[in-house]
Structure 1
Amino acid sequence: MDNVEMFESESKGRGLKATKESWAGDVIFAERAYAAVVFDNLSHCVCHCCFKRQEKLQRCGQCKFAHYCDRTCQKDSWTEHKHECAAIKKSGKAPNENTRLAARIMWRIEREGGGLAEWCLVSIDDLQNHIEKFEEEEKEGLMEDVQNFLEYWPSQNKQFGMHYISHIFGVISCNGFTLSDQRGLQAVGVGIFPNLCLVNHDCWPNCTVIFNNGNHEAVRSMFHTQMRIELRSLGKINKGDELTVSYVDFLNLSEDRRKLLKKQYYFDCTCEHCTKGIKDDLLLAVKEEENKPEDSVVKELIQFSKETMEKIDKARSEGAYHQVVKLCRDCLMRQEPVFADTNIYMLRVLSIASEVLSYLQMFQEAAENARKMVDGYLKIYHPSNAQLGMAVMRAGVTHWHAGFIEIGHGMICKAYAILLVTHGPSHPIAKDLEVMRNQTEMELRMFKENEFVYHSMREAALTNKPFQVMKEPNVETPKNTFHKKPQEAK
């Protein structure tokens, strides 16, 4: 932590400042999790040690709940799991992820004390919990969590007071960091990283946070230094500059971002992009033509788009993907004559349409939607935004599958350049992209030498070995920095 220092101000509270100059892609600091757990619904298919998603995992023979890649991961995780293992075995079932995370934090405090760990700038005790700002429903949920914890916590262990237990759950609610799988494509767990909690929010930040669980061989040899988050610079940062990250996806109107930040993190965003509404004009843009649509037409279409998105989300959650495609097509047919290519309501539909069409192997239509989506994203997102890089990568792969090798290769190269900054060259997704870049470059050379031969060879290859079905569209792609416990449906 030599690259940063903590500061306090009257207006923003705590934060972190750079102690030396950094450039795009530099790792400003890396941090291990103080405690982390796998999500309840993925406990059987994600390793509880390295958080990698695997098809076949070995189950803990005692509690029957925790799963691991192999004995090496199980051994590395034993210090964190042994008390949990006994508690789950005794109770007969595992509690929810928040209770498990709170217990892991408490067991660590029991082992090491509640003071500063040697690599931390702040202790768990000193992290903000914002309980005083909780609404009535949140307070009821907090009390339920505390009760579940007391039923789960072993009587022979150190007993903590209700006030302190509530503090830990408040810290988890406000500061739990979303952990992704090895390629950053799905949210798989939640962890507490004390130093990261000090980094303040900005909608147009100078840093990004990436969960990097490394390659498996490295994990085997030096697990604790590999399974970590990295705070990476998005551009030049001068000594003394405050370090910032975005807690939410930028692809929202400034008013909506502010409401979301207020509801989930209990502060009013005063960043320049929110106070000045920067990019809002693009996110609400309509076609600039002689016959510009009337305000009433635009308002009606926005409402129609919102209602259609609700139908799309419902059909998607039910796996009715052909219905999703129909809804997207109908919505886009009405949107395209009115909305500009940066309009947020059209971009959301294009994103879902391209993903679902790819899953259904309707690659040419998927590629067309993906290209339009990327054209809009490039005008809105920060040029080194991780979400932009992932979107361009998916669009590049879709074009590659559709046989549009020139566009596909160009997008894959663009995505690689972005993710080298946001993820670094050693991240699994960057390594995958490098392989794809080399493969598409080779195919592009073949295409330029003889287009007919290229398409003939491609068709023959597809006949002998069809494209594998793409993964089912995932609605849990991590977009927000911190994990917020969802409200239970009443």
Structure 2
Amino acid sequence: MDNVELFDAGEKGKGLRTTKDLKAGEVVFTEPSFAAVVFDSLSQQVCHNCFRRQVNLHRCAQCKFAHYCDRTCQTACWDEHKQECAAIRNKGKAPNENVRLAARVLWRVQKDTGIVSDSQLISVDQLQDHLADMSTDSLKELKINVQNFLDYCPNTKHGSEYISHIFGIINCNGFTLSDQRGLQAVGVGLFPNLCLVNHDCWPNCTIILNHGKIELRALGKIAENEELTVSYVDFLNVSADRQRALKHQYHFDCMCKSCSEHFKDDLKMAAKETDGKKPSDELVKEVQKYSLECLAKIEAARAASNFNEVVKLSRECLEKQEPVLGDTHLYKLRVLSVASEVLSYQHNFSEAAGYARRMVEGYTKLFHPNNAQLGMAIMRAGVTHWHAGLIEVGHGMICKAYAILMITHGATHPITQDLESIRMQTEMELKMFKKNENDYHSMREAALQNKPTGKMTASLSGEANFKKQDNTK
């Protein structure tokens, strides 16, 4: 924590600021979790120690709930799991993830107190719980969780008031953990130092989970004594919606510059302009209403794995949107994102590439140039173009994505390493394409059909295999 110090951030409470100048991509600090758990729905698919998605995980023979990559992960997690293991066996089943996380937090507080290392700047007990700001429904849910906790840990020394305090802390400070590729949320954890970093809708830092620890990374140059900020919500929402979400979940009114100035809201809700003319407000509202209804149907079809229906609905929606909504309109971008993803999954790469390109063009006008979400979107679009045989565009996008992810994720992150391998592959294929375009396409077609590729394969030392990477999903 040499790069930061705790300070009074005024109305925002405590905050962290830099103690020296930082450059883009620099790791401000790393932090292991104070406590963390895998989501209920993924308890058999994700390692309970390192949070990696794996096949054929080893199950704890005693509680039969926790799963691990191997003996190494199981042994490493035993100190955290042994009380949980006994509690699950006594109860007969595991409670929900919020109760399991609260139990792990309290067990660790009881064992190590609220501060577990010299680098931890604040005790867990000192984190805000915002119980006084909770709605009636939220308080009812909290009361149920407290009762479930007491059933799960009947011998606890903590009273209901303190247990409620811990649940409140988790509710507004819990951080979602992603898998090793950063593609799916797999769990939730508590990181005390990270909790001190305040929100800004256009932040100067990003958070990445890397090898079991979170990394706070600078998105650009940060001057000495400047406050460090991250975004608690998705920037791909208009300012009013972001403010509403922040008030509901984190109980504060966001007055950042982006919200105060409604930064890029006009682009996010833009109507299409043709020859200096725009459609009427009534038509725009009608298409926006239709888009929201269609997006709900698309999500339902997607959840049901009815991918043909997803594609059909997406095409219909885009046809309706095209003459009315601008290319940066949020509803259009959401449809383009889903359509490109599902079509890639169906190996319809040519159509998927067109949608992905349009999505990236819109994202580029909205996001910070070093935004992790933008980098991931460009990466997927690049891989889709590569699979579609559009090697020049694909390689260019992959290089652009790699430059962004080197800042947001760093060179050692698994997804950056995967992307580097793809970048080298496409660079090699691009050289081949420029040398002899016809031979390149012949070789590519043969490779896709698992046919001998003759002299072109030999010229690549057998490395051009065109294996479909699992990065288009």
Task: Settle same-fold status: TM greater than 0.5.
Answer: yes
Range with greater deviation from structure 2 (345-354 or 2-11): 2-11
Range with greater deviation from structure 2 (458-467 or 294-303): 458-467
Q: Deviations over 1:195-238 (max 9, x none)?
A: 0000000000000000111xxxxxxxxxxxxx210000001111
Corresponding position of 1:238: 223
Corresponding position of 1:151: 151
Q: How many residues of Structure 1 are paired with residues of Structure 2 in the alignment?
A: 459
Corresponding position of 2:439: 453
Q: Deviations over 1:114-154 (max 9, x none)?
A: 35642211111100011111111100000000000000015
- In 1: Cα distance, 2:269 partner to 2:390 partner: 31
Label 1:241 to 1:421 Cα distance change in 2 as closer, same or farther (>3 A).
same
Please give the root-mean-square deviation of Cα atoms over the aligned residues, in Å: 1.5
- In 2: Cα distance, 1:116 partner to 1:265 partner: 25
Whether contact under 8 Å (1:146, 1:162) holds in the other structure is yes
Whether contact under 8 Å (1:117, 1:123) holds in the other structure is no
- How far is the alpha carbon of 1:467 from its aligned partner? 7.4
Structure 2 residue 30 is matched with structure 1 residue 45:
no
Structure 2 residue 366 is matched with structure 1 residue 384:
no
Corresponding position of 1:308: 294
Residues 102-117 of structure 1 correspond to what in structure 2 (within 5 A)? 102-115=102-115, 117=117
Corresponding position of 1:372: 358
- In 1: Cα distance, 2:471 partner to 2:414 partner: 20
Corresponding position of 2:392: 406
- How far is the alpha carbon of 1:295 from its aligned partner? 1.1
Q: Deviations over 1:417-458 (max 9, x none)?
A: 000000000000000010000000000011111111011000
Counterpart secondary structure, 2:183: coil
Whether contact under 8 Å (1:361, 1:469) holds in the other structure is no
Whether contact under 8 Å (2:49, 2:76) holds in the other structure is yes
Whether contact under 8 Å (1:87, 1:154) holds in the other structure is no
Structure 2 residue 257 is matched with structure 1 residue 272:
yes
Structure 2 residue 309 is matched with structure 1 residue 327:
no
Whether contact under 8 Å (2:384, 2:394) holds in the other structure is yes
Structure 2 residue 285 is matched with structure 1 residue 299:
yes
Q: Deviations over 1:300-344 (max 9, x none)?
A: 111111111111111111111100100000010111122221111
Q: Aligned AA for 1:276?
A: E
- In 2: Cα distance, 1:318 partner to 1:403 partner: 31
Whether contact under 8 Å (1:361, 1:470) holds in the other structure is no
- In 2: Cα distance, 1:417 partner to 1:306 partner: 34
Label 1:469 to 1:434 Cα distance change in 2 as closer, same or farther (>3 A).
closer
Label 1:128 to 1:177 Cα distance change in 2 as closer, same or farther (>3 A).
same
Corresponding position of 1:163: 161
Identity of aligned residues (%): 62
Corresponding position of 2:124: 124
Corresponding position of 1:479: none
Counterpart secondary structure, 1:22: coil
- In 2: Cα distance, 1:142 partner to 1:470 partner: 43
Whether contact under 8 Å (1:374, 1:392) holds in the other structure is yes
- In 1: Cα distance, 2:468 partner to 2:397 partner: 21
The TM-score, its normalising length taken from structure 2, stands at 0.95
- Which of 319, 330, 335 is equivalent to 1:349? 335
- In 2: Cα distance, 1:15 partner to 1:99 partner: 28
Q: Deviations over 1:36-57 (max 9, x none)?
A: 0000010101001110000111
Label 1:237 to 1:247 Cα distance change in 2 as closer, same or farther (>3 A).
same
Q: Deviations over 1:244-273 (max 9, x none)?
A: 000011111111111111111111110111
Structure 2 residue 269 is matched with structure 1 residue 284:
yes
Whether contact under 8 Å (1:378, 1:388) holds in the other structure is yes
Whether contact under 8 Å (1:63, 1:88) holds in the other structure is yes
Residues 221-260 of structure 1 correspond to what in structure 2 (within 5 A)? 227-260=212-245
- How far is the alpha carbon of 1:473 from its aligned partner? 8.8
- In 2: Cα distance, 1:119 partner to 1:161 partner: 29
Whether contact under 8 Å (1:405, 1:440) holds in the other structure is yes
- How far is the alpha carbon of 1:472 from its aligned partner? 11
- Which of 196, 199, 209 is equivalent to 1:198? 196
Label 1:453 to 1:259 Cα distance change in 2 as closer, same or farther (>3 A).
same
Corresponding position of 1:87: 87
Runs of 5+ in structure 2 lacking a partner? 452-464
Corresponding position of 1:481: none
Whether contact under 8 Å (2:383, 2:471) holds in the other structure is no
- In 1: Cα distance, 2:222 partner to 2:472 partner: 37
Q: Deviations over 1:133-180 (max 9, x none)?
A: 11111000000000000000152xx51011100010001110100000
Q: Aligned AA for 1:407?
A: V
- Which of 428, 448, 456 is equivalent to 2:414? 428
